Amino acid sequence: MRRSIPQLISLAAMVAGVVLFVYTMLGIDRTETLIEVRALGIALPLVLLPGTGWHVLRALGWYICFPPEERPSYWRVFRVRLAADGVGYFTIRGVASEPLRVVLLMGRVSPVVSAAASVLERTAMGIMSVVGVGVFAAFAMSSDMLPRAWQGVFQGIAITAGVVLLLSFLFLTRTGRYFGPLIERIYLRTQWRWAGGRTVRAITAVEDLFLKLARTDTRRLQMLVVLSIACYWLMALEVFLVFWAIGEPISLWIGTIVETFTRSASVPGGAIPGNLGALEASNVAVVQALGLAGGGSLALFRRFRSLLFATLGLVLYPRDTVSAPSSTSPASTS
């Protein structure tokens, strides 16, 4: 059977991920890593706290993006987000996560509202993540803790982040709408059915609400900025705690360097389901570049943490989603 281009890309990404994983695991000191993993296991509840806090804050970020009059309970938002991300974890770039968020809130929140809130949260958190990567990469590239070649790597990361931020600024500071007028012009010129269909009208409605939510409440945006910064530091703290647990203490600044590189590497690595291989290779590579032991333990812990929360998301999967509540309002349903 002849495979389609998307299927071939998916297959190639999976093969690349497996090769990266095997290559990385063969390149670490497995005996030393097993000793470190045993030490890490004792401190596991403590080391899992930053990751838990990250999920709590990301759910809070999505929660505040809903209009107050159509906001579901925080517990519902937390469960839906964890479940959707759990399913999306096993897909390329997590493409299943966003549509599933909308589906799991149907009957309680309008699909237009939940989609707009999700886009707003993703956009705000994504932009602030790029800001963090750019700032810390700029500091890291001048650090004498890194070899010259790695200083060049971080310089490239800083330049890329700057370009992305510039393009985002130019796009988001435009007044008016973005997607809607373009589709309307296409429809007027071509009369293509898809450009005037129900799906396009729904996407246009999502855009309108997204712009309203983003432009009418500066306090919401300020809270998203604070939450994004907190999430970044929680991941740096996770790196710090892993090395503390295995008896290789590092500074929080080194933890931030590690997080900056691995966060940058996760973007191209997102083409691989579960970031398989890319996650392990990025963590091990930057730790070795810093002249530290323990990269294998950090990579294995982060793989374990990702699988743990993906599994927890499937366990908490809301099974009462598609049926609308009979007597309670969406805002009061938990």
Q: Which residue has the higher pLDDT, 15 or 182?
A: 15
Residue 180 confidence (pLDDT) above 70: no
Mean pLDDT of the chain: 84
Q: Residue 201: which of 277, 78, 111 has the closest Cα?
A: 111
pLDDT at 177: 64
161 and 141 Cβ atoms separated by less than 8 Å: no
> How is residue 324 annotated by DSSP?
P
Question: How much of the chain exceeds pLDDT 90, in percent?
Answer: 45
- pTM score of the predicted model: 0.84
304 and 37 Cβ atoms separated by less than 8 Å: no
Each residue's pLDDT tens digit, 138-151: 999 888 888 889 99
The SS3 assignment for 290 reads: coil
Question: How much of the chain exceeds pLDDT 70, in percent?
Answer: 83
How many other CB atoms sit within 10 Å of the CB of residue 256? 22
